Structure 1
Amino acid sequence: MSLHDDATRTLKEWSAPSTDQEDLRLTYLDHLAAHTDGVWRSCADGHITASALVIDPVGERVLLTLHRKLRMWLQMGGHCEPADGTLADAALREAREESGIARGLTLLPGGPVRLDRHLTPCAWHLDVQYAAVVPEGAEPVISEESLDLRWFGYDEVAEVADTSVVRLMERTRALL
């Protein structure tokens, strides 16, 4: 199965939690139907990306990265790569790379948490967002893609991050 096929299957099977999320789900599926390269950065009309909100094992804090290029506090995430077998693999790889936590990081069961479409300097990102839990005692390490990496309590996220990250955090908390 190709990554394009997995993305299509994942989005077809995903139950959107709201009307706006259902509209995005259908937009993503239309994009994939129209673009055989819709999961790759080379797709100029936009592309599927994968991200993961990293949460502590107790479920009280989230780990955000101060993105080097965008200079915003964000969840871990980015472009799909040829080695990614699934969107979940892409999200977990990005979370591991950007958090520096290589072992024990696991995605919450049940598939994506939410979807977010946003314009970036390279193109529209049709982000499929997951949540991942770090193992007890894991120490994050700043990657080359980050200016900083920091834990934030749930009540602090709205002070540093945009509404997309806040919505992802809120949806993740509702699932815990």
Structure 2
Amino acid sequence: MALPAESSLLRSARTELADYAGRAAGTQRELAGAFLTTLNTHGESALRKDGPPEHLTASFVVFSPAGDTVLLNFHRKADAWGHFGGHLEPADGSLREAAQRECAEESGLTVRSATGAIAEVHAHDLGSGFSRCQRHLDVVFTGVADPSAAFRASDESVELAWFPVSALPERIMPDLPARVPMLAQAVRALRDHS
């Protein structure tokens, strides 16, 4: 019996994660390896909201070109400030494309990727407001946008706002205060070496 053909998204996700695992260190390398194990175990279903309760998602953390401010959305279900992202769709060609699509849907902005490559991987458990989803294996990209560009909140968000990286809002997703400055530093380093 022949195995079903892999989608281009599954092939791309494996490639993107393997590339990241090859250049990451420590816990990031281990976590990327765990994401790859999930893909190898569950195949296509690991990329779907209706797949296993623990599945991949894609996100964008959007910074100003100077890397000193970050655009966040106040997420209705999470009841907290967070970055843009969500579930993958069959039409997505890669994890990066899924992150860009999610960002465009949630902010109205077309954001360019800072590197085109994964910036970090992050796993987080979800509350009861997220139905059958129990844990997101989030593949994170960084993007850059002009703070003067017009943006709009989607139905999932209450509002969007730019915040200084050094003064993040109080009601923010608990993991972001440690992660945002590190990601901003990487965006600034790329800018400085361009």
Q: Is the 8 A contact 1:16 1:25 kept in 2?
A: no
Aligned partner of 2:79 in structure 1 is 71
Unaligned runs of 5+ in 2: 1-6, 189-194
The question of whether the paired residues in 1 share the 8 Å contact of 2:63 and 2:184 is answered with no
Q: CA deviation at 1:83?
A: 1.4
CA shift, 1:157, in A, is: 2.0
Question: In structure 2, which of residues 9, 21, 39 is the aligned counterpart of residue 32 of structure 1?
Answer: 39
Q: 2:163 is aligned with what amino acid?
A: F
Q: Which residue of 2 aligns with 1:86?
A: 94
1:44 positional shift? 2.0
Deviation digits for residues 44-91 of structure 1, max 9, x if unmatched? 241110000011123211010110111111100000011111000000
1:20 aligns to 2:27 (yes or no): yes
Does 1:141 find its partner at 2:152? yes
Q: Please give the TM-score of this superposition, normalised by the length of structure 2.
A: 0.83
How big is the shift at 1:166? 2.6
Question: 5+ residue gaps in structure 1?
Answer: none
Give the ranges of 4+ consecutive aligned residues of structure 1 lying more than 4 Å apart after TM superposition. none
Moved more, 53-62 or 135-144: 135-144
**SS of equivalent to 2:56:** strand
Give the structure-1-normalised TM-score.
Answer: 0.91
CA distance in 2, matches of 1:10, 1:158: 32
Match of 2:125 in 1: 119
| Matched-pair identity in % | 32
Partner of 1:151: 162
Contact 1:39 1:80 in 2 (8 A): yes
Q: Aligned match of 1:109 in 112, 115, 119?
A: 115
Aligned residues: 174
Q: Tell me, yes or no, if structure 1 residue 173 matches structure 2 residue 184.
A: yes
Task: Report deviation, 1:16.
Answer: 5.0
Aligned to 2:3: none
Work out whether residues 46 and 56 of structure 2, in 8 Å CA contact, stay in contact via their aligned partners in 1: yes
Larger Cα-atom Rg: 2
Letter in 2 for 1:35: H
Structure 1 residues 82-105: Cα deviation after superposition (integer angstroms, max 9, x where no partner)? 11110000001111111121x4x2
Paired position in structure 1 for 2:17: 11
